[in-house]
Amino acid sequence: MRFIAKVFDFGDVIGHFNWRRACFSWHSWHNTCMRNPKANTSAEPGHKAQISEREIRDALLMLLSESSNDGVRIQEELRLERGSARIDVAVIGSSLVGYEIKSDADTFARFANQIHAYNRIFDEIHLVCGERHLEAAKATIPSWWGIFVARRADDGDVVISLVRAANPNSRQDSFSLASMLWRDEALAMIDTATANVPKKASSHMLWEHIASTFSLEAIRSTVSHTLLRRPLTPF
């Protein structure tokens, strides 16, 4: 599936991708359209076909990859909190930015638990949803989450546009962030502080030690840099 990205500016100000913070920074009257020449056109005349999760994901990945640089990684299905949750797409740079996708065919079942997990990890979080879920999304997710909506244009193209910009997350949790580290990575972080930790300490003990010893900023920085160096694995 091939998407062609087009950006339309409706004023003197434009949106841009701020990779120093590894998140979208948008200004008013700016839409980003992902055009898919092979979009689903099987719907009856006068009715638009539902947009699938795969179409939204492909459009989002195109949007993110076209704005990426060598210091940023875009990773799908990033595991969080010992695998108890996953986020659809994560942008890993100097910050951690998450994108969760909800197509029109999806439900919000179990979404509340996901929201709390994402809040404990990411610097900024965005929901990318189908138009059917837009009002429910506004009522469900925290006010500081960003929202993008995916719509199907009359010509069948998939259009992703900004509804609400994200604000920085003030609810990150030191232990949850530390749990993103594998055991050897956690030991490496502790070794830099020459801490006296038992060699056979469990991963849980190491994460607790990191959470109680290091600042949130230090943990966040270490996790970001560690994830950037870690080999990509299939999801």
| Averaged pLDDT score across all residues of the chain | 79
Estimate the share of the chain in helix, then strand, then coil, as percent rounded to the nearest 5: 30, 25, 40
Note the pLDDT of residue 6.
Answer: 33
- Please say if the pLDDT value at position 125 is more than 80: yes
Note the pLDDT of residue 101.
Answer: 95
- Spatial distance between the Cα atoms of 149 and 176, rounded to a whole number of angstroms: 29
How many angstroms separate the Cα of 148 from the Cα of each of 15, 115, 135, 138, 223? 14, 16, 12, 11, 27
- Spatial distance between the Cα atoms of 87 and 29, rounded to a whole number of angstroms: 28
- Please say if the pLDDT value at position 154 is more than 70: yes
- Please say if the pLDDT value at position 16 is more than 50: no
Strand order in the sheet with 96-102: 4-9, 30-35, 158-164, 146-152, 124-130, 96-102, 85-92, 73-80
Residue 195: pLDDT band with limits 50, 70, 90: low
Question: What pTM did the predictor assign?
Answer: 0.78
Provide the terminal-to-terminal Cα distance of the chain, rounded to the nearest Å: 20
Give the least confident one: 26-40, 62-76, 157-171, 192-206: 26-40
